[in-house]
Amino acid sequence: MFAQTPIRDGVDQYERLAPRYDRLHHRWLRHAGGEAQAALEALVRALATPNSKLLDAGCGTGKLARTLIAEGMSPQLMTLLDPSAAMLARCADIPVPKMQERLEALPFEDGAFDLVTCVWALETVPDPFLALTELCRVVRRGGALCLAFCADEPARGLADGLMRQALLYRGTGRFLSRSRLMRAIESIDGFEVRAIPSQGPASTVLARRTGAVVQAVTKPKVEPYPPQHGDQ
Ligand SMILES: C[S@@+](CC[C@H](N)C(=O)[O-])C[C@H]1O[C@@H](n2cnc3c(N)ncnc32)[C@H](O)[C@@H]1O
């Protein structure tokens, strides 16, 4: 429902990509996603307190955690999660708990974290809607979910356009509809959502879980992600 093209499970690809990931990702950030990444990091800096429990879900090689720790955030209350052992192995220098798990089945209790980040990972999972529901579930009341993702927005120019084509060709992700994604979060009880403006085919979204009494997060009624011909 969020994207034009379905995707198969991408974990194997990231297993293979891990040694080259930082170099390729740097290119993406330089040409297309840098503004959205900067907006996401600014959000986390603004929202985090010394006592914030933070989950970075789909952490990859640990770029965000490394940045935050270098800026003085304590690693003590951070958790990194990714299903790819090879990506997690590249986080070995980061002194935080690491879990080899998936976004679609987070092994945490409801409301376990003050801050949940998911950076360029939602678009790599076969069912981003299920992943989003799980991410929202583990945010505590008064806490927040910060997302950066490849978005189905117009390219600014040649570099953006080429990056988009390269990513689609590699099959490591796709471009999600920001408005649909925001509507899906809004349909979950107790969440307020806003997009942080940036240009190009990338987006940053902040979803805050209000302090009001909320019911358990259940799967909201929106159209399911449609299977397409050739899908397995
Ligand atoms: C484009 S990388 C982003 C990594 C990191 N967040 C960053 O900012 O560089 C996508 C990550 O999502 C992970 N991933 C793929 N499928 C996943 C899933 N089902 N659940 C959680 N993470 C997943 C991949 O292993 C990979 O590390």
Q: What radius of gyration do the chain's Cα atoms show?
A: 16
Smallest CA-to-CA distance from 106 within 93, 120, 117, 95 is with: 117
The pair of three-digit structure tokens given for residue 202, joined into one six-digit string: 């990338």
State pTM to two decimals.
0.87
Identify whether the C-beta of residue 133 lies closer than 8 Å to the C-beta of residue 225.
no
Ligand 1 in reach of 84 Cβ (< 6 A)? yes
Ligand 1 binding pocket mutation candidate from 14, 22, 23, 68 (most atoms within 8 A of CB): 14
> Whole-angstrom Cα distance, residue 1 to residue 168?
17
Ligand 1 centroid distance, CA of 103 (Å): 9
The most confident of 22-36, 61-75, 144-158, 164-178, by mean pLDDT = 61-75
The pair of three-digit structure tokens given for residue 52, joined into one six-digit string: 């914030």
> Whole-angstrom Cα distance, residue 89 to residue 93?
9
Confidence of residue 184 (pLDDT cuts 50, 70, 90): very high
Give me the residue spans of the domains in the chain: 11-209
Q: Which of 75-84, 85-94, 170-179 has the lowest mean pLDDT?
A: 170-179
The confidence score (pLDDT) of residue 20 equals 95
For 11-209, which CATH superfamily applies? Vaccinia Virus protein VP39 (3.40.50.150)
Average pLDDT of span 192-198: 92
DSSP string, 81-140: E-S-HHHHHTTTTS-S-EE---GGG--S-TT-EEEEEEES-GGGSS-HHHHHHHHHHTEE
Ligand 1 in reach of 202 Cβ (< 6 A)? no
Ligand 1 in reach of 164 Cβ (< 6 A)? no
pLDDT one-digit tens code per residue, 117-130: 999 999 999 999 99
The most confident of 49-53, 134-138, 150-154, by mean pLDDT = 134-138
The pair of three-digit structure tokens given for residue 54, joined into one six-digit string: 């933070």
Confidence of residue 7 (pLDDT cuts 50, 70, 90): low
Ligand 1 in reach of 7 Cβ (< 6 A)? no
